[in-house]
Amino acid sequence: PDGSIEIPVAVNVLYRTAAQNISLAQIQSQIDILNKDYNGLNSEYGSVPYYNSVKAAVGIHFVLDTVVRKSTTRTSWATNDAMKRTSTGGLNAITPDSVLNIWIVGAMTGGVIGYAQFPGGTAATDGVVIVHSCFGNTGTAAAPFNLGRTATHEIGHWLNLRHIWGDANCGNDFVGDTPLHNEENYGCPTLPHYSTCTGTPIEMTMNYMDYTDDACMYMFTQGQKTRMLATFLTGGGRNGF
Ligand code: ARG
Ligand code: ZN
Ligand code: CA
């Protein structure tokens, strides 16, 4: 299905302040970033260090389908999916079997900036959640999460990607061409940053599935591409798309 996958996107905006009711321009800026990051069209793609030979243009396109807006008095949301149901103060998902739902919230408890549901979960809560100030690259988007890479990362999870460090010291991310990492990386690491795991590889801190700043993550690998595209096959959990 390489190159032929088109994902309709519904953006569900839950705002308390006027600023949190993000503009259509901010929403569209995020869609544009996804179309770059998932197709090797981001500005950094031509100059990936160390891992140029495994970088991948995934071949998935995103199209803005629906925007729904709702005012709320809630200042903060937990990662318990309350924002995904009208009955708990949120907004119900729109046809989640064939539309990627994104919920935009003012803030999340614990400083979380986004979270995602993996394939195979409950349809009603399927999709990703992102704090307004980490969405797109204009309007309320704020550094260091102002290049739209939080959505790139969360949609990676939504397409079955694990964190590159496998959520453990030298953990497994089930992708063959990503190196072992000791743990997550933050900020903008000085390169090369070596792992002390088996083989002491250079860590792929520039991968979208690390925790580095938006400006310092800019690639998926061929192995990640294969894993993501497998979700669109029968039984992969995303075959409704
Ligand atoms: N902490 C979030 C998660 O685990 C996402 C972090 C995204 N990083 C970024 N530079 N935007 O899903
Ligand atoms: Zn993550
Ligand atoms: Ca790996």
* pLDDT at residue 88, as a whole number: 98
CA distances from 61 to 8, 34, 96, 136 (A): 9, 8, 17, 16
Q: How far is the CA of 163 from the centre of ligand 2 (A)?
A: 6
For 121, list phi and psi in degrees, rounded to 5: -90, -175
Does the pTM exceed 0.95?
yes
* pLDDT at residue 1, as a whole number: 43
Closest listed residue to residue 104, CA positions, set 146, 74, 134, 66: 134
Secondary structure (3-state) at 46: helix
214 Cβ below 6 A of ligand 1: yes
- Residuewise pLDDT in 10s, the chain (241 residues): 445 899 999 999 999 999 999 999 999 999 999 999 999 999 999 999 999 999 999 999 999 999 999 999 999 999 999 999 999 999 999 999 999 999 999 999 999 999 999 999 999 999 999 999 999 999 999 999 999 999 999 999 999 999 999 999 999 999 999 999 999 999 999 999 999 999 999 999 999 999 999 999 999 999 999 999 999 999 999 999 9
Residue 10: strand pairing partners: 66, 101
- What ligand 1 atom has the least distance to the C-alpha of 157? 12
User: ipTM beyond 0.90?
Assistant: yes
Buried b / exposed e along 14-27 (16+ C-beta atoms within 10 A): bbbeeebbbeeebb
- What ligand 1 atom has the least distance to the C-alpha of 210? 8
Closest listed residue to residue 35, CA positions, set 124, 122, 137, 121: 137
* pLDDT at residue 4, as a whole number: 81
Angle, vertex CA 187, rays to CA 137 and CA 41, nearest 5: 45
Q: How far is the CA of 162 from the centre of ligand 2 (A)?
A: 7
Strand 100-105 to 128-131 pairing: parallel
Amino acid identity, position 173: D
* pLDDT at residue 115, as a whole number: 98
Alpha carbon of residue 110 to chain centroid: 19
181 with 170: CB under 8 angstroms? yes
End-to-end CA distance of the chain: 11
Sign of the torsion formed by the C-alpha atoms of 76, 80, 86 and 90? positive
2 with 24: CB under 8 angstroms? no
Assess whether 183 carries a catalytic annotation. no
